[in-house]
Amino acid sequence: MKWKTLEAINDACADLRHSKEGCMFYQNTNEWRHCPDTLALRDMIFSEIQDIEDLVPLGKSLGICPYYASREALPIAEVVTLPYQYLLSESTRSSLQINLENSIVIIDEAHNLIETINSIYSSQISLEDLKNCHKGIVTYFNKFKSRLNPGNRVNLLKLNSLLMTLIQFIVKNFKKIGQEIDPNDMFTGSNIDTLNIHKLLRYIKVSKIAYKIDTYNQALKEEESSKNENPIKETHKKSVSSQPLLFKVSQFLYCLTNLTSEGQFLKNYSIKYMLLEPSKPFESILNQAKCVVLAGGTMEPMSEFLSNLLPEVPSEDITTLSCNHVIPKENLQTYITNQPELEFTFEKRMSPSLVNNHLFQFFVDLSKAVPKKGGIVAFFPSYQYLAHVIQCWKQNDRFATLNNVRKIFYEAKDGDDILSGYSDSVAEGRGSLLLAIVGGKLSEGINFQDDLCRAVVMVGLPFPNIFSGELIVKRKHLAAKIMKSGGTEEEASRATKEFMENICMKAVNQSVGRAIRHANDYANIYLLDVRYNRPNFRKKLSRWVQDSINSEHTTHQVISSTRKFFSMRSLNSR
Ligand code: SF4
């Protein structure tokens, strides 16, 4: 049986260890830790550099769990590699006994570090989750109350009244999406504020009550559905390895017990705790380690890291280093248009003339200028905008015209996977055009190397939705912080503008970085919006992109320079 997520693997391991039979490869005892086979596997771990997959056959042959044996090796290990989610959570670090004191911490692929910290320390619970959890506890309690000891009974009753308070709060107060709430209001008028949530959380963890409630309720459901002669299909059965709902509730309650000025709540028939100061949880790493290295291919704009992650670190203690790309200079050209019609602001981007004439013509010309065997990948700022463009082109014969020059593949929300079709089409050398979304399935983690992408186009500036509830709260928090520290309104507004620009330009760097994946690769980048000429946007491009900006500006110049670029390449490859 294969488990698809890390969470499911952890749960399956926990299930087996806590089952009657236990896991034959591990026991949580000193005897197991000191038995010759455990020590032998632990020592083998040091014989050469190996990852956990390499240790599996060794563990199998000795009958020892490689994961727990490698944990035994931690105290004397000099180099430890681990997913950075483990590093970033203080509680996980301490449960793994990872001591950062005096160590050098290297965080690779750090471009997503801030988002990862935010998601580790944020939590959301919906009305439906709370209701289901409440119902599950009531059913379990009613069935087993005569067999439960007094401590269990009291804790379950307390847990239920806490859930009821949260349910009533959401039902009573929900007004509009994105509304901020004061966490203290949640318990006003109830006697819940006298309840020790820490104790309840400890009870949930130690008693394994979450698994018991889940297993009982699941069995009831299956029994009921078999009575109805309408058995739950195998695929709809809840996997024994998925997290009990009470764990999700616990995570949320944990956030409730750790309220600080950097947390805020939103609601949308759900309550969300959102971390607003990622620098706070990162502080403990900075304080303990001797030196922290943040490394990544798309770290620009770096100001985002300085202000969000390292605001308290003196500038003389920070060294930044930006390297050139490994490719020779002549393997990359970046074009920024200066054609005023090509401006994709919110007000102008729907213009029929922009979509049907300028944008369409650019793609037709580019499709002809780039050799057919090389694919073109274009990133659009949102699913809605790409859908609008496709719809406009389909209403007349433009879509078919462009499709005749290059086969078009485009991303749609909840659409099928288009990457394999596009890759096959490129491999056949038929001339292919992939229209993708910034922040969509294809903008990160996929290598468009060699012929998969000889031209990458960024259509417009992918600003995030300013009406998103989360961003409203983040901007307000940032402005309030600046005003509180003596800043002016103008400084606050500059900072929030910069915050939005950073999100946008980070997404641009991420997307254009999909092309050119090795030293002999070559491609062109097209930044299709006059606003890219402004210094505030330009300086936030990755250094290697900035260094390759070409001086050709009109669409006509750009296309003829593109032809020259590719004809030089074909001459050189002869
Ligand atoms: S071998 Fe290790 S990781 Fe696998 S189930 Fe047993 S204890 Fe868990």
pLDDT of the residue at 241 = 45
25 touches ligand 1 (CB under 6 Å):
yes
Amino acid 449 reads Q
What separation in angstroms does the CA of 381 have from each of 345, 411, 461, 528, 553?
11, 12, 7, 12, 22
- Sheet of 263-267: strand order equals 123-126, 270-275, 263-267, 179-181
13 touches ligand 1 (CB under 6 Å):
yes
Separation of alpha carbons 388 and 242, rounded Å: 39
Whether 324 contacts 544, CB under 8 Å: yes
pLDDT of the residue at 217 = 87
Separation of alpha carbons 268 and 263, rounded Å: 17
382-410: pLDDT as tens digits: 999 999 999 999 998 999 999 999 999 99
140 touches ligand 1 (CB under 6 Å):
no
Q: What does the domain layout of the chain look like in residue ranges?
A: 1-79, 123-275, 329-470+501-572
Where do we find the tokens 């890219």? 532
pLDDT of the residue at 238 = 47
The CATH architecture one would assign to domain 123-275 is: Orthogonal Bundle (1.10)
CA of 73 to the centre of ligand 1 (A): 16
Whether 451 contacts 443, CB under 8 Å: no
The CATH number of 329-470+501-572 is 3.40.50.300
Q: Any alpha helices (H) in 415-554, and if so which ranges?
A: 419-427, 469-484, 489-512, 535-538, 543-546
Taking 70 as the pLDDT cut, the residues of the chain under it are 1-7, 175-179, 192-193, 228-242, 258-268, 571-574
Closest CA to 217 of 139, 279, 305: 139
17 touches ligand 1 (CB under 6 Å):
yes
pLDDT of the residue at 295 = 94
Amino acid 81 reads T
User: 177 — phi, psi (to 5°)?
Assistant: -60, 140
* Cα 311–Cα 503–Cα 481 angle in degrees, nearest 5: 40
pLDDT of the residue at 527 = 96
Query: What is the per-residue DSSP string for 5-66?
Result: SHHHHHHHHHHHHHSSS--TT--SSHHHHHSHHHHHHHHHHTTS---HHHHHHHHHHHT--H
CA of 7 to the centre of ligand 1 (A): 14
- Taking CA atoms only, the protein residue closest to ligand 1 atom 8 is 13
CA 387 to chain centre: 24
133, containing H or E segment: helix 127-144
- Taking CA atoms only, the protein residue closest to ligand 1 atom 4 is 13
Point out the ligand 1 atom lying closest to the alpha carbon of residue 59. 1
Query: What is the per-residue DSSP string for 202-248?
Result: HHHHHH-HHHHHHHHHHHHHHHHHHHTT-PPPGGGSPPTTSPPHHHH
3 touches ligand 1 (CB under 6 Å):
no
Point out the ligand 1 atom lying closest to the alpha carbon of residue 14. 8
- Domain 329-470+501-572 in the same topology as domain 123-275: no
pLDDT of the residue at 240 = 45
